[in-house]
Amino acid sequence: MDGASVVRIGTRGSALARWQADWVADRLRAAHPGLRVDLIEIRTRGDRDRNSPLAQIAGGSSGTGLFTKEIQRALLDGEVELAVHSLKDLPTRGPDALTLGAIPEREDPADALIAPRHQTLDALPEGATVGTGSLRRQAMLRHARPDLNVVGIRGNVETRLARATSGELDAVVLAASGLHRLGLDGQITDRLGPPRFLPAVGQGALGIECRSDDETTLALLAPLDHPPTRRAVLAERACLAELEGGCMVPLAAWGREVEGDLLALDVAVFDPDGRERLDAARTGPLDDPEGLGRQVAAELRALGADRLLHAARPES
């Protein structure tokens, strides 16, 4: 980087990833007139195999990093100064040399049902086929509607959306935030949000990663950070880390600030088939989000969460 005049952003190549990287680039340029921001496209392991179930690609691992490791490597090697991630895809434990330089304000964290014919989850007939690539969403759907035929699907947002709009599937479930960002929120027929449906850890939030010792880039990112979002997602991520879960386990979390200057955190853990759901919720001070996350994790562990999460992990 030539002083602070050029910043390179590493991004995946999907339409949503490019939108997110462009959004960050535009805000950097607005905050720092004259700054040049270039986008560098990087293909990840999860992008190279678009057909296999994510748990299968992960093999014996928890599946963390399928969409982030190559971009993190480019950061560490100095090929880019920034990486823009969907925060839900970013492992809770990463290289010490990298840090989340900014977490912008969160979009809608909810899931979204696209069911052109039947409209709502409750209106879907018995045996209706619903597609989603997320184990968390599959477990939540099976818990809410054990009579549905829930199937795994892969592909970018547009590909998955088309499987519902074409009538191939009765419905699909996607992140509301991705549909909003791509201007496709008009396709949403039912918002599946808290408290009945909790989102993935970090869902709807972006994580802008940089090198921990890159003071110049950290200073450039400071105006993009949104402290209430940072506190909420740090609590969610701390709970996930404490339970040693990755993005491939059916754990859902919802952090947010509430009246009285408190941080609230609701977390749910499911068994893979959705038969069982464990819930824990607490509030805590704004200045200790990680502590709140660990408290909720301890409560879930006491309820038997380890047993459910172990059952969800792919076998090696």
Q: What share of the chain is helix, strand, coil (3-state, %, to 5)?
A: 35, 25, 40
Distance (Å) of CA 72 to CA 34, 44, 65, 82, 185: 27, 10, 9, 9, 30
Report pTM: 0.88
Encoding tokens for residue 102?
Answer: 């900014």
Annotation marks residue 2 as catalytic: no
State the catalytic residue, choosing from 26, 49, 89, 111.
89
Where are the domains positioned within the chain? 6-107+201-312, 111-192
Instruction: Give residue 210's pLDDT.
Output: 96
pLDDT one-digit tens code per residue, 215-251? 999 999 999 999 999 999 999 999 999 997 655 678 9
Q: Which fold has domain 6-107+201-312?
A: D-Maltodextrin-Binding Protein; domain 2 (3.40.190)
Topology agreement, domain 6-107+201-312 and domain 111-192 = yes
Instruction: Give residue 188's pLDDT.
Output: 97
* CATH number for the segment(s) 111-192: 3.40.190.10
Give the whole-angstrom CA distance, residue 274 versus residue 278.
11
CA angle, 265 as apex, 261 and 267 as ends, to 5°? 175
List per-residue pLDDT tens for the chain, 316 residues long. Answer: 444 589 999 998 889 999 999 999 999 999 999 999 999 999 866 554 445 554 443 443 444 455 678 899 999 999 999 999 999 988 888 889 999 999 999 999 999 999 999 999 999 999 999 999 889 999 999 999 999 999 999 888 999 999 999 999 999 999 999 999 999 999 999 999 999 999 999 999 999 999 999 999 999 999 999 999 999 999 999 999 999 765 567 899 999 999 989 999 999 999 888 899 999 999 999 999 999 999 999 999 999 998 887 766 554 3
Give the whole-angstrom CA distance, residue 269 versus residue 181.
28
